[in-house]
Amino acid sequence: MADNNSLNALIEGLRRLPGVGVKSASRMAFHLLQHDRAGAQVLAQALQQASTQIRHCARCHTFTESEICQTCLDPSRDASKLCVVETPADQAAVERTSAYRGLYFVLMGKLSPLDGIGPNDIGLAKLFDRATSGLVQEVILATNFTAEGEATAHVIAEALKARGLKVTRLARGVPAGSELEYVDLGTIAHAMVDRR
Ligand SMILES: [Zn+2]
């Protein structure tokens, strides 16, 4: 396989994706090369574009191509409410419900001591600064209902309550162990309205 360096590099590249082992990576590589060269070009360009253009919003940390994202810049948003989510996908899930018109803080992760992810890695100092800047009156914790999501919510809630802020959590009804991204819209909307 000495003349197959490009193929091996492609398979190794695909293996970086979560949940993709060497077998799936090989299947994807063969598919692109055998049946969809045009698709391979589109994918290559999209990866190049996204990996160089997308950064984190200076205010909420979500993905954006600007300094500040569209949501943070939207004057019709209720700046007295700040919803804390783990990922841009979770933020999108809350957005789709149309049950929330406040602003966001996207942790880009969750506390996970076993993986070495601590408060600094998810921007907690910045979140606390923002929450206590005077504009925010309620922080809504919409981290996932997994063990790590709950632990993260607990740490944030304790810290913010100690600073005198009103902190609410999405109501139960979102199944325990579930990730927001995969919960249906009605359930999230209901959990948002019923937050306590
Ligand atoms: Zn933003």
Q: Calculate how far, in angstroms, residue 114's C-alpha sits from the geometric centre of ligand 1.
A: 29
Domains in the chain: ranges and CATH: 6-53 (1.10.8.420), 79-169 (3.40.1360.10)
Radius of gyration of the chain from Cα atoms? 20
Q: Calculate how far, in angstroms, residue 131's C-alpha sits from the geometric centre of ligand 1.
A: 14
Q: How far apart are CA 75 and CA 58, in angstroms?
A: 17
Judged by DSSP in three states, 41 sits in helix
Give percent of the chain above pLDDT 70: 96
Q: What are phi and psi of 57, to 5 degrees?
A: -55, 135
Mean pLDDT of 168-191: 77
Amino acid in position 171: A
Model confidence pLDDT, tens digit, residues 101-156: 999 999 999 999 888 999 989 999 999 999 998 999 999 999 998 889 999 999 99
Q: Calculate how far, in angstroms, residue 160's C-alpha sits from the geometric centre of ligand 1.
A: 20
Q: Quick check: 179 pLDDT over 90?
A: no
pTM of the predicted structure, to 2 decimals: 0.81
Question: In which band, very low, low, confident or very high, does the pLDDT at 173 lie, cut at 50, 70 and 90?
Answer: low
Give percent of the chain above pLDDT 90: 74
Q: Calculate how far, in angstroms, residue 104's C-alpha sits from the geometric centre of ligand 1.
A: 7
Residue-averaged pLDDT of the chain: 91
Nearest-5° Cα angle at 63, 71 to 10: 155
Q: Calculate how far, in angstroms, residue 87's C-alpha sits from the geometric centre of ligand 1.
A: 12
Model confidence pLDDT, tens digit, residues 59-118: 999 999 999 999 999 999 999 999 999 999 999 999 998 889 999 999 999 999 888 999
Q: Calculate how far, in angstroms, residue 137's C-alpha sits from the geometric centre of ligand 1.
A: 18
